[in-house]
Amino acid sequence: MSTDRHATHRSKLLSLIRRNAASPLLITNPRNVTYLTGFTGEDTYLLIGPQQLQLFSDSRFETQLRDECPDIPAEIRTARTLMPDFLANLLPKFNLKSVGIESTSMVASVRDLLAEKLKPIEILSQPGLVEELRMIKDADEILELRAAIHQAERGFELMRSLLITDQTERQASHDLEHGMRRFGALRAAFEPIIAVGDRAALPHYRAGLRTFQEAGFALVDWGAVSGKGYHSDLTRILVTSKLPPKLHQIYGVVLKAQLAGIAAIRPGARCQDVDAAARKVIEEAGYAKYFGHGLGHGIGLDIHEGPRFSPISGDELKAGMTVTVEPGIYLPGIGGVRIEDDILVTRDGHEVLSSLPKEAPFAAG
């Protein structure tokens, strides 16, 4: 992504700061620093305000900072100085009466230390401003998300083609991650969930030592991270022999629910209403108590970000948002079904970005 794109992100944040009468912000969330500067390292803070723009980092990243964000001045500390002391020495030079911090990413001990060292500069909690901007993706970000989805889908197809029934869940997980990397992914978006048989009833199961021959099906939840750090998130049911009749029946319910949720996506739609559209299908089929989580979430630089689909969400959809839709039914001792796709909210509705078939469970091999 170009430095112009990150400058646009900073300009939008400054407008938000002015609109909220907020103080200059000390950005400490690494994803937010990336969003505003293009820097992909860690342990680096950004001060941004109407008259302030400064990075604070250390000598490990001096060259990387010049390469990735040459338009932003950087102060570099050495191992002889801790970051709180470094900031305490430098921030007073900006003539600040107060500075906002991201209280969702800065630990309380660092916040208290800064408050003590920076007196009389007031430390204010101002979380969520950058995350609010990040919910709306620009054209470059959408291209990165498309790449992450493509990498995930190609990796899944490769893993499926290589699958043998005496493989363990963990071995298949390794093959899946390796496959995504082969097609350009930086890494897996999270540890792939590959759950054989009744383990599929655990929504966030960790792949273990069960083999595919122990049951006729598995739930696979996975995603890729693109070269610029954007995440995809998908789920499919993979059948190695035969899907039990009960799960075949709930597969149809989950698919119907997912399609209902996707159909409700458009600018101006309330996220709780999208959740309700899918949840109603599952409730009417008699499985309400077996679908306990929200319908989906935003994806981007984080695997879980705003907006959120849930019965209590206060979010409203806007064009440019990218979200997952992932209803599920989980039957303890039997297994579970979840179907998940990645969706872009467009100006006149939505676009399903993922392309793997889902009309029926995937066959292995």
pLDDT at 22: 83
Beta bridge partners of 196: 218
Cα(305)–Cα(322) distance, integer angstroms: 10
Alpha-helical segments (H) within 91-215: 108-117, 129-134, 139-162, 169-182
Q: At residue 1, does pLDDT exceed 80?
A: no
Under DSSP, is residue 89 helix (H, G, I), strand (E, B) or coil?
helix
Identify the residue whose tokens are 């996975």: 222
The model's confidence at residue 3, banded by pLDDT at 50, 70 and 90, is low
Closest Cα to residue 307, out of 265, 337, 348?
A: 265
pLDDT at 20: 85
Contact of 137 with 229, CB cutoff 8 Å: no
109 Cβ neighbours under 8 A, 6+ residues apart: none
CA angle, 188 as apex, 186 and 192 as ends, to 5°?
170
Cα(338)–Cα(353) distance, integer angstroms: 18
Cα(296)–Cα(258) distance, integer angstroms: 10
Q: Mutual orientation of helices 108-117 and 83-90 as an angle, nearest 10°?
A: 30
Q: Kindly list the structural domains of the chain, giving each domain's residue range(s) and its CATH number in brackets, ordered by start.
A: 3-134 (3.40.350.10), 139-363 (3.90.230.10)
Beta bridge partners of 225: 187, 231
Identify the residue whose tokens are 């250390």: 58
Write out pLDDT tens, residues 158-193.
Answer: 999 999 999 999 999 999 999 999 999 999 999 999
pLDDT at 299: 98
The mean predicted confidence, pLDDT, of the chain is 95
Q: At residue 365, does pLDDT exceed 80?
A: no
Q: At residue 96, does pLDDT exceed 60?
A: yes
Burial class (CB in 10 A: 0-12, 13-18, 19+), 1: middle
Q: At residue 326, does pLDDT exceed 70?
A: yes
The model's confidence at residue 246, banded by pLDDT at 50, 70 and 90, is very high
Under DSSP, is residue 336 helix (H, G, I), strand (E, B) or coil?
strand
pLDDT at 21: 82
Write out pLDDT tens, residues 40-89.
Answer: 999 999 999 999 999 999 999 999 999 999 999 999 999 999 998 999 99
Token output for 353 = 């970005």
% residues pLDDT > 90 (the chain): 89
| Cβ neighbours around 164 below 10 Å, total | 13
Q: At residue 4, does pLDDT exceed 90?
A: no
The H or E element spanning position 64 is: helix 62-68
Contact of 298 with 305, CB cutoff 8 Å: yes
Residues in the chain: 365
- Looking at residues 118-122, what average pLDDT do you find? 91
Among 100-109, 135-144, 163-172, name the one with the lowest average pLDDT: 100-109
- Looking at residues 285-307, what average pLDDT do you find? 98
- What is the pTM (predicted TM-score) of this model? 0.95
Beta bridge partners of 349: 346
Cα(314)–Cα(272) distance, integer angstroms: 7
Contact of 129 with 10, CB cutoff 8 Å: no
DSSP designation for 139: H
Contact of 313 with 244, CB cutoff 8 Å: no
The number of angstroms, rounded, from the C-alpha of 78 to the middle of its chain's C-alpha atoms is 33
Phi/psi of residue 43, nearest 5 degrees: 55, 40
